[in-house]
Structure 1
Amino acid sequence: MGVNLNQGGVLPSRSTLNLSIVSGAALAAEALQLALKDFALPVPTTLILDSPPGFAFSAWPAGEHPVLIVTPSCSPHYLHDLLALHPAPAGVMHEPVTLSQLQAALKVVARGQAFHQIPPLPHNDLSPREREVLRWVALGLENEAVADRLGIKVKSVADMLSRVKWKLGLQTRVDLARYYLGLHLVTL
């Protein structure tokens, strides 16, 4: 039993390995692969390293085995959306995470139990549709593409974005993306 390393959101087909690591950050995934090389789990389990933030949405598997997401984002809207993925992830952890914490979480989710180590989520001041529009804009879609994806009018997307900016006290699409992805505290 070992670790199967995958990058770029490509999940393996059925494998004899018990842990698949999926990440947009090759170095972090390779380091974890080395650290977990002798770590065994009772069932196939996927670990998604959400790096860069937003990667988990593109790497989301449609498989039947448990998934643990480790994310650097502390944005409540982003964390709400991770928890709302379908099927729901068995676990979500906010960085920083020690190797022993990661191993403990993987064991819990491999047993089919939920494991969440994230900051408390405040009341969500955005509607589900506003949060959905915010997510797609933060992940780089233009208003027309968001409207097509959601089956709504482009004007509805623009109106929702205006409301979201007002509610969050933000000015630009870049501000929205940084806020949603949890990068609003980063000084450039």
Structure 2
Amino acid sequence: MREIVYDTYFWQNDMVRLRAWSEADWEWDYYNSFDTLAVRLADCKVELPPTVSHSKEYSEKVSSLSTNNCRTTFAIETLDGIHVGRINILLDDHQNGTFGSGLLIDRDYRGKGYGTSAMKILLKYGFMEKRLNKYSSSALEGNEASIKMHKKLGCEQEGVLKQNIYTNGRYYDEIYFGLTKEDYLKL
């Protein structure tokens, strides 16, 4: 196979490259399923104990950019090919022109800008290629990394749903963020 030249590749920037999730990525999913705090912050719940078969089934379901519940899942890699995370884009509201995302970075690579860099690629795709008008997302109260990332991306906090999510024995606020294409283009 010829060497791939990434000079003008859309799905990368100066820090990360997005690629299709593959069935072989089940190990990454399995390993990161043991990070209960991160999974709780991302999914607002605790899953049953991880199993190899569940991770393999998940990876098979979302591999090769197949859409699952209007979500397309990508692996996040450094430019050196190190798998550092998973990101998906939620494209379920074409009528209103909105989209969302989900993101999980491996604990060993958090706080280094990989998630923010991957989000920049998805925002560019949503606004500049899919002609969508608004990115919307929420973060669970206490998810400081997600809150910081959204603000860094230019998102505005649009509201708080008080005590909206129940997990870990109590109700948490859900903080909503948004970014319009107009504001994105100003950045």
* Same fold by TM-score greater than 0.5: no
- Point out the structure with the larger helix share: 1
- Point out the structure with the larger strand share: 2
Q: TM-score, normalised by structure 2?
A: 0.29
